[in-house]
Structure 1
Amino acid sequence: MGLQDKYKALVDAAQAQGVADLQVREQEGVLYIDGTASSSANKQSLWDLYETINPDFRDSDLVLNLAVAAGAEETYIVKSGDNLSKIAKKYPGLSWKDIYEANTDRIKNPDLIQPGWELKIPSK
């Protein structure tokens, strides 16, 4: 099975979401997918799909380089097992406190967040 076949569902989902400037290329045993998602939620859904295809990210055969369109609101849907520190690691330059401060209207205790909550991700 080729990499294009292995990650066909991911490429199809990116196309269906209208990822701008979508580029898919295979080079030296690695599939590169580049583009700009219209929202952070769309970007996250593609990462979630990638995780279902390659659960532990062990294969090292895909580079998923997705930006979020300028001006798009960054949001993150909390999943079971998440905490603010874990979420912040997905956004370089942010700390758990940055996310907490952007969501004080929803989060009363930073140690208690609930799956399904939609959190604003501040820009840095």
Structure 2
Amino acid sequence: MAVRAKYQGVLDLGEKLKIANGDVSEENGVLKVTGTAATQYEKNLIWDAIKAAGGDSPSDINANIEVADTSVYARHTVVSGDTLGKIAKHYYGNAAKYTAVFESNTDQLDNPDMIKVGQELVIPNL
């Protein structure tokens, strides 16, 4: 299997996430990938996809992914059915961390139970 085909899911994810300054080349059976993710969360998604395709320590890919905005972990646009607990569970794996999300968004939230569809929330670094 060609290395590019092996990591096609990673490349597709990079396009979906709109990784900036993305570049992909193949040299001596090693895929070289560079680019800039918007947030650390998006960078983590890319690394998770690399590990899923190549294992924990793949030797056939060399990825250098930068992060454009290190001041936040992620940004989340509220959709119907979201709660701060559900959002915290998605990003941190722990719904109880909803308070961190609330505290980082007090400029637009007065009550953790009152979020609105379309609001863009900051998901803070923990």
TM-score (norm 2): 0.57
Letter in 1 for 2:32: Y
Note the alpha carbon deviations across 1:60-104, whole angstroms, 9 max, x for none.
0101110011465235x4469xxxxxxxxxxxxxxxxxxxxxx9x
Partners of 2:68 and 2:93 lie apart in 1 by 23
1:1-124 matches, within 5 Å, as 1-57=1-57, 59-70=58-69, 73-74=72-73, 77-78=91-92, 120=125
Partners of 1:70 and 1:21 lie apart in 2 by 15
Partners of 2:9 and 2:40 lie apart in 1 by 19
Gaps of 5+ in 1: 81-102, 107-117
Note the alpha carbon deviations across 1:93-120, whole angstroms, 9 max, x for none.
xxxxxxxxxx9x75xxxxxxxxxxx661
How far residue 34 of structure 1 moved from its aligned partner, in angstroms, is 0.2
TM-score (norm 1): 0.58
Contact 1:78 1:119 survives alignment (8 Å): no
- Structure 2 partner of 1:85: none
How far residue 56 of structure 1 moved from its aligned partner, in angstroms, is 2.6
Contact 2:39 2:70 survives alignment (8 Å): no
Partners of 1:61 and 1:79 lie apart in 2 by 30
Gaps of 5+ in 2: 75-90, 101-122
| Segments of 4+ moved more than 2 angstroms | 77-80
Relative to structure 1, is the Cα distance of residues 52 and 79 closer, same or farther in structure 2, using a 3 angstrom cutoff?
farther
What CA RMSD, in Å, does the superposition of the two structures yield over aligned residues? 2.7
